Amino acid sequence: MSDEVKIGVVSCSGEDCLGGTISRLATRKMLDEIRPDETVTICLPLFLAGGAEERGFAEAYPTLAVDGCDKLCAKRATEKYSGKVSDAFDVSSLIGKEAAESKPLSTRYLTEEHQEMVNKVAKEIRIRFENILSDYYKNAAQRIKESGNASNCGCGCTCGK
Amino acid sequence: MSSMSKKVKVIPCSGMGKVHGLVAREAALKVVSELCPADAETVCLAYIVTGDDEAKEKIEGAPCLTLDGCPKMCAAKNVELAGGIVKKGYRVVDIFKGHRGVKPGNATALTEEGWLLVDELADKVKENVLELGKEG
Amino acid sequence: MSSRYAVLPCNGLDKSVGCIAREIALGLVDRSESDLICPVLFRVSDARYSKMAAEKPLLVIDGCSTRCASKLAAEKGLKVAKKITVTEEVKNRNVKVGKSLKLGDSELELAGSVVEELLKEEKKEESAAGHEFSTITYDYEIYKKDKFIFRVPRTGFYFNENDCWVVVEGNRARVGVADYVQQSLSDIMFFTPPAIGAEIEQFGELGSIESGKAVFEVISPVSGVVTAVNENLISAPELINENPYEKGWIAELELTDFESDKEFLLDFEGYFKVLKRKVDEFHV
């Protein structure tokens, strides 16, 4: 397997409200523009339907759940089928509950205001994404340090001297 | 409320990874918000699968039309599992098969050609919604 | 040859449609090599049927929209190959069935005609079956990149560097594309088969497959004459995505000179290295 770190971003499908549309578009922005090489998007319907590739990835790699509303489908599904998420948030905390719960939007009718919301959420995803990456590297460095200390003195003991 | 419960449920898969999922989603939205809002409504698939009571109540025993992006048929399978009656399961790939060479866009945004496919699928779904409405 | 399903009926006892579901299941088991799964026993103890359900395609027969058999299959995590719902069959065939739990002529006729159709469908699939390659074993090695899984069969398969495979039995060969191809193309929508009787040179074109992303020419790993094509792919090219090594095979050939062709082919180990390099270098 490749050594690169990848983070799975699990977005809600968002059919019931604007929050879902924004969540979806912001996640796509991460994949298309912001961090294309490190982002893997997890298709929630496929994940829920038992997709082995989606679930297997989410078990092995850090995940960030992005939900459109307080039902938290993406977060709950990831935790149920693949273990604890590294981070999660609900877009209504950024764009407001009223906006998030308004009617779902076709991408045909995206306005400047909607695009602003997408950018705002994408920015939040990026920040959390980078925190997850940073934690990942810190933990990896710590593990290397610990395994290095065990055999420093050359006699094969674990005295660390 | 009672008139809402008689509406045909149009449920897309909304898959994130491929353009097909976006076409499914947009077609469903067009049907329920523009073409026949009085006869059809959509239900979020994630709610159905995560066991949301309100969503389950809406689809249990109700006539459903599912719009799946790809042959994995996530929407059709899960709606059936939750007790919905899938009257017809549409596959976006079948619409694409009638338009060889078309470049519809990607999972983020559709091209003009992509929107034509959405319109075609939405029209087919609308016909079915209206027929089911007559039966119901 | 006859059908070979693992049949899971709902066995609903309180409605005539449940009894018809049972009748269909019994008819199919009687007239083919299908096996029956008792839904009641399966619910409480799946050990007896798990192997059968894994080896044969699963046919689920529900009496009504309660869909008990479908729900049971989903609970047990089974992949359903085909589904019948008796109430839908009644509607589509425009027949009348009574409410009595004892089946009359009309109900038995319905059951019989559903069984006939199932047997005919299986015959149609088998006509695309070509030669029976009985010695193929499917034992896969897996290589993962991000969320993508690439499978390569460990034994019996040879590959060219164009990601096309061949299995050989005597003087016959079956050809297809590797997992890397179907992953790269995503949903395959069109299949252009080679002509039956066409003489193909090694590394010549053996038809093509197309998705929304690209057209892929199938490059033949062997030289020979085309004797069969997988006709199922014409209406369902997505079978290649589902399983490119089994039901997604492309064509069969009568070989011209496999011993010479083999020198230019890779075995599992050779191809696996090529695959890993391609996957690591290119984002699928």
Integer angstrom CA distances of residue A91 from A16, A18, C236:
14, 10, 40
> Per the CB < 8 Å rule, is C144 touching A54?
no
Instruction: State the distance between the two ends of chain A, measured CA to CA, in whole angstroms.
Output: 35
- pTM to 2 decimal places: 0.72
Interface residues of A toward C, Cβ cutoff 8 Å, are 1-2, 6, 8, 37, 40, 42, 50, 52-54, 56-57
Does the ipTM exceed 0.90?
no
Q: How far is C256 from chain B (nearest CA, A)?
A: 35
Tens-place pLDDT, residues A93-122: 999 999 999 988 898 899 999 999 999 999
Q: How far is A124 from chain C (nearest CA, A)?
A: 23
Tens-place pLDDT, residues C105-162: 999 999 999 999 888 776 555 545 567 787 788 899 999 888 889 999 999 999 999 9
* pLDDT value of residue A80: 84
Q: Does domain A7-150 have CATH number 1.10.8?
A: no
- A149 or A30: which carries more pLDDT confidence? A30
* pLDDT value of residue C129: 57
Tens-place pLDDT, residues A13-29: 778 789 999 999 999 99
Edge-first strand listing for the sheet containing C205-211: C188-192, C205-211, C215-219
Contact C223, C257 (CB under 8 A): yes
* pLDDT value of residue C235: 87
Give which of B43, B65, B58 is closest to B121, Cα–Cα: B65
In terms of CA atoms, which chain C residue is nearest residue B95?
Answer: C189
* pLDDT value of residue C60: 93
> Per the CB < 8 Å rule, is A28 touching B14?
no
Q: DSSP character for A95?
A: H
* pLDDT value of residue C51: 75
Give me the residue label for tokens 């579901």: C21
Look at strands A39-42 and A63-67 and give their pairing. unpaired
Instruction: Collect the ranges in chain B with pLDDT lower than 50.
Output: 1-4
* pLDDT value of residue A14: 76
* pLDDT value of residue A2: 44
> Per the CB < 8 Å rule, is A2 touching C77?
no
**How many residue contacts between B and C have a Cβ separation below 8 Å?**
33
Q: Which two tokens stand for residue C148?
A: 């993508």
Helices (DSSP H) in C85-134: which residue ranges?
A: 86-93, 105-127
Give which of C60, C58, C47, C68 is closest to C6, Cα–Cα: C58
Q: Which two tokens stand for residue C30?
A: 């009687």
Taking the C-alpha atoms of residue B119 and residue B97, their distance in angstroms, rounded to an integer, is: 15
pLDDT surpasses 80 at A33: yes
Taking the C-alpha atoms of residue A7 and residue A10, their distance in angstroms, rounded to an integer, is: 10
For chain C of 284 residues, list the mean pLDDT of each consecutive stretch of 10.
76 89 93 90 80 82 90 82 89 86 90 89 57 81 90 95 95 96 93 93 95 93 95 92 95 95 96 94 66
Taking the C-alpha atoms of residue C68 and residue C78, their distance in angstroms, rounded to an integer, is: 14
Q: DSSP character for C79?
A: P
Contact C176, C247 (CB under 8 A): no
Average pLDDT along chain A: 85
